[in-house]
Amino acid sequence: MSAPPPASPAAARFVLDPDFTVGPVDPRLFGSFVEHLGRCVYTGIYEPGHPSADDRGLRTDVLELIRELGVTAIRYPGGNFVSGYRWEDGVGPKDKRPRRLDLAWRSTESNQFGLAEFMDFLRKVGGEPMMAVNLGTRGVEDAVRLLEYANHPGGTELSDLRAAHGDRDPYGVRLWCLGNEMDGFWQIGHKSAEEYGALATATARAMRMIDPGLELVACGSSGQSMPTFAAWESTVLQHCYEEVDHISMHAYYEELDGDRDSFLASAVDTESFIENVVATCDHVGARLKSKKRINISFDEWNVWYMNNPESSVMVPPEDWAEAPRLLEDNYSVTDAVVFGSLLIALLRHADRVKVACLAQLVNVIAPILTEPGGPAWRQTTFFPFAQASRYGRGTVLDVRPESPLYRTGKYGEVPLLHATAVRDEDSGAVTVFAVNRGQHQPLPLEVTLRGLGLGEVVEHSVLADADPEARNTLREPERVRPHAAAPGTVLTGGVLRATLEPLSWNVIRLR
């Protein structure tokens, strides 16, 4: 005799009130990341000769998808790549640019796509530049030379060189990363916290001599699991607290050993990571008796199957190949639900997370995939990001759910519901973003609305599928898309009632 199906869970509940908020959403929370890694750049966003390529070699089919995705700040050129990068190699006439060995990804870099091409790309997708400087093999001098080339109006060797290369107007880059993951043993030029803190301070001071108004990001830990986590942040900020504006965070998640329940709860780790870094920053600020507040640049985050041999290849099959296929994860519906939950975690901490970069933008653990000479298409993770970027602008309301719990091997008991809500200050419209982590049962939801003046459900969009492994592929690029929820999402008497499908990402728009 078979066991009876599990009982339906009780409803999850929360209250929304405009007097209780987290804070405004900085649009740069919807940023992304372009690194010279695998096919992110070459045959991703840049492919001269492609049927859709414009006169600068950019794939217009990819540009259209990026605009639809709604990315804002875009971090460049790395990533691990930046710790050995010579920015001068990627400027000027293309036929004079050198080919170099890229030690980070054991590839050959043609330098056919460089700073000017990146800025042209940003203009076409409406993005803001977030430049990283090489503090691995280089340092203070290189950083200020790049800043002068990029931002000085003219009348000096490097600013005039930029003009000679075709860009008379300065690029106006405001947001700069002081290196990348310098705590990691894998990083070219890896440094101790003391060494990096001193270098970051010197670099920041020199860059501010050119432009005091820059926003600067210091390297935090490469992950909460690093043995030096928190001690690294504390030491680095002890050096450069008054010189920087943000500290970076990086986090990636994957399903391990078939433990899907824990994977679906990945955002539990994300939220604790953010709160621990904020506590460390504030502790250092208190020790220094500073009135300044350091915010978070969560400039690498995603689902990444690092332990999958097909994804985790750090050395291409052919050594020193040009634009090899690396880290090209094909995401499932389950991955998209976890991805949406990570977005919710970022929004729930919008008071301190002011920049966030989905790593990466095209082909490499990305929401967009392409084939050389062929089509481009949306991965399952494309949809939560595009919806959050479109409807997640405004003020985050303080959401404290009461939810049924489920047990995970990694995080203990975890709420089935993960949710946040954002209010558009101009229209008063509210969007609820919600994930049902339960794999088998729908989750009833009740939201009490106070003082918001809302009277209508505009839309309840769901990303879910009977097959949690469903994916969009070259053969079936439209296999997975959001769909309208079944009838039953209603707003009556100041209470929103809905049912969240099992293993689902939900967007409920109210006006």
Reference 58, options 69, 77, 43; nearest CA is 43
DSSP 402: B
CA separation (Å) from 74 to 48, 78, 123, 358?
22, 11, 11, 9
Cis peptide, bond prior to residue 51, ω within 30 of zero:
no
Only one residue has tokens 């076409």, namely 124
Q: Say if residue 94 is exposed, middle or buried (CB neighbours under 10 Å; 0-12, 13-18, 19+).
A: middle
469/416 Cα distance (integer angstroms): 20
User: What backbone torsions phi and psi does residue 447 show, to the nearest 5 degrees?
Assistant: -120, 120
SS3 (DSSP) at 358: strand
**Which is it for the CA torsion 39, 40, 43, 47, positive or negative?**
negative
- Is 303 within 8 Å of 329 (Cβ atoms)? yes
The answer, yes or no, to whether the previous bond of 213 is cis (omega within 30 of 0) is: no
Instruction: Tell me which of 88, 181, 233, 243 is the catalytic residue.
Output: 181
Q: How far is CA 248 from the centre of its chain?
A: 12
Please give the DSSP secondary-structure letter assigned to residue 10. Answer: P
Known catalytic residue at 322: no
152: which 2 tokens? 């000085």
Measure CA 391 to chain center.
17
| Catalytic-residue membership of 310 | no
Which amino acid, one-letter code, is at 204? A
CB of 273 within 8 A of CB of 224?
yes
Catalytically active residues are 181, 300
